[in-house]
Amino acid sequence: MAMYPQARREGVLLQEIDGEIIAYNTTSEQIYLLNSTTALVFEHLDGATNPEALTSVMTERLGLPADPGLVALALQELRQAGLLEEEAAQPQQPVVTRREVMKRLSLTGALLALMPVVQSVVVPTPAMAASVGGRTCVGQGGSCDQNTVCCPPLQCTGTVEGPKCSPPGRADVL
């Protein structure tokens, strides 16, 4: 039995949202967004499904032209993101470029949005997430004035104890 590409499941947390997949690779601590085309390929990578069958699935489900280049491009993207099982028996596919596939298929308009994409998502560190305009923000109940910034959506409001960061809708916004 020939071994075909297989989606990596160990060490990968997946969340499907509207036909796309958010994948968190726990080994590299990277987050990836798989568009609907690449998500469809990823879902069918069981090690037993050949690229021709994947091409048929893409054509049936997404209405894309039956071109093996689209599957090859999706597999390249998934391999680069570390979302495929690494098997010594898997032959390395020749490199396919987006430009080649678009030119060959004459993709335009809405079909371009269905080109296989794995997008890396940058997650801010807690310190970055707690800053506003390069300044560290103050949480709810913290003291604030003209030199400090309340973390969104909090506002600096006047209270009996002095100015504090409070939820929106409170009186006496400073």
Q: What is the pLDDT of residues 5-42, one digit of tens each?
A: 999 999 999 999 998 999 998 888 889 999 998 999 99
Any idea which of 41-55, 89-103, 110-124 has the lowest mean pLDDT? 89-103
**Domain finish residue from 88, 104, 121:** 121
- For 93-98, the CB contacts below 8 A with 24+ separation are 96/69, 96/72, 98/73
- 114 and 141 share one domain: no
Query: Are residues 83 and 143 both part of a single domain?
Result: no
The answer to whether residues 107 and 23 belong to one domain is yes
Based on the fold, state whether residues 18 and 63 are members of the same structural domain: yes
Report field, pTM of the whole predicted structure over 0.75: no
Residue 170 pairs with which residues in a beta bridge? Answer: none
Distance from the Cα of residue 87 to its chain's centroid: 24
- Domain encompassing residue 67: 12-121
- Count up the domains in the chain and report the number: 2
Q: How far apart are the first and last CA of the chain?
A: 71
Which tokens belong to 57? 């699935």
